[in-house]
Amino acid sequence: MAYAASAVAALVGSGIGLGASPAAALHQTLVVHQGESIQKAVNSARPGDTVLVLPGVYKESVTIGTPRVTLRGTGANTVIEPAAKSTGAAPGKNTKATKSCAEGGNGICVIGTKTTNVEGVTVADLKVTGFSRAGVFGMATDTMTVRGVQAVKNAVWGIAQERSVHGHIMDNYAQGNGDAGVFLANTITEEAGALDTRRTVIDHNRLEGNRIGVTVRRLRNLSVAENYIAGNCAGVFVVGDENKPKAGDLEVAFNDVTENNKSCPKTDRLPAIQGSGIVLTGVEKTVVDGNRVTDNSGDSPLSGGIVLFKSFVGVTNDKNRVSGNALAGNGPADLVDTETKGIGNTFDHNACRASKPAGLC
């Protein structure tokens, strides 16, 4: 056997008349040692089981499609890296998904189906590094938790979710990823209206040295709160477009956004960026409140402390509220509003020295 299995919950109904079924009451911890396959253990896991990965370097991609499974390491000394070369998918269930995760360049994938979200999966307490796309990627998930993960030097995203709801991304460290440390979107394969995430929360993460700390793209109803975001080219991007429903109706609150002054070249979607703290572009009804935004400075069109910028497809920012933020040392200004046609945007009770246009502080 490639892993050790131990029962960690007794049959609470056994012998005492409570009537609990074995399937509901018996959860296992499947222990993976260095040199063994994480995927084989995941393939054997049942709903409610934990796959515990002991210290070591594991060169593989892992896909989880079973609900309520926890994949947990022992901290930064549990490391998942790309395999030296593709050897095909691990045998057992989820074979097709496992192969697509690795071939897609991702480290850990949590994948539902086109019709059913996979529920209650947790990825925790490990390091994932060196993948050509995302360190941790969730698609079609419900109540997926990513906690205590170090997502370092992946070519695109550190931690990403697509077409997912009720997510919780907390207490992670994302550093040196090619695009966003944390990336959330409705879909990356087609144009579509904003998805209601049903209150996804991104909180208490440390996001450093990425292209963008957090990107929220074409989503509604979520919170980006109490994160430390520093040393990226931009801190937070909230992005919408011309599709309906419009992106927004979310909050960016109580984050520490400082010195995001790396210089990143333009892409097919964005100009060169540098010195952007929090940027709203093409969104509505977003609350930016209680953030500390300091020393973000550059000469990109998107530079500044908190920036409202009309989207590159011409969609305005409307009915957004920027209030109660403490800003200093941002350039070209602490508050920047380049909107000329947006309606109902308000700036109030912010502690700042300079704005473009004048009078927003």
pLDDT tens string, the chain, 361 residues long: the values are: 455 555 444 333 333 334 444 555 589 999 999 999 999 999 999 999 999 999 999 999 999 999 999 999 999 999 999 998 644 333 334 444 445 798 999 999 999 999 999 999 999 999 999 999 999 999 999 999 999 999 999 999 999 999 999 999 999 999 999 999 999 999 876 677 899 999 999 999 999 999 999 999 999 999 999 999 999 999 999 999 888 999 999 999 999 999 999 999 988 878 899 999 999 999 999 999 999 999 999 999 999 999 999 887 889 999 999 999 999 999 999 999 998 889 999 999 999 999 999 999 9
Q: What is the pLDDT of residue 310?
A: 82
The helix/strand/coil state of 102 is helix
Q: Which of 34, 28, 38 is nearest to 71 (CA)?
A: 38
Give yes or no for a contact between 243 and 218, defined as CB atoms under 8 angstroms apart. Answer: yes
Give yes or no for a contact between 299 and 272, defined as CB atoms under 8 angstroms apart. Answer: no
Per-domain boundaries in the chain: 76-356
**Max Cα-Cα span within the chain:** 75
Q: For residue 342, how many other CB atoms are within 10 A of its CB?
A: 21
Give yes or no for a contact between 310 and 338, defined as CB atoms under 8 angstroms apart. Answer: yes
Q: What is the pTM of this model?
A: 0.91
Phi and psi at residue 41, to the nearest 5°: -65, -45
Give yes or no for a contact between 294 and 258, defined as CB atoms under 8 angstroms apart. Answer: yes
Q: How far is 327 from 352, CA to CA, in rounded Å?
A: 5
CATH homologous superfamily for the domain 76-356: Single-stranded right-handed beta-helix, Pectin lyase-like (2.160.20.10)
Give yes or no for a contact between 332 and 302, defined as CB atoms under 8 angstroms apart. Answer: no
Residues whose CB falls within 8 Å of the CB of residue 242, separated by 6 or more in sequence, listed in order: 282, 311, 313, 314, 315
Q: What is the pLDDT of residue 175?
A: 98
Q: Which two tokens stand for residue 206?
A: 């440390």
Q: What is the pLDDT of residue 3?
A: 58
Phi and psi at residue 39, to the nearest 5°: -60, -40
Q: For residue 91, how many other CB atoms are within 10 A of its CB?
A: 11
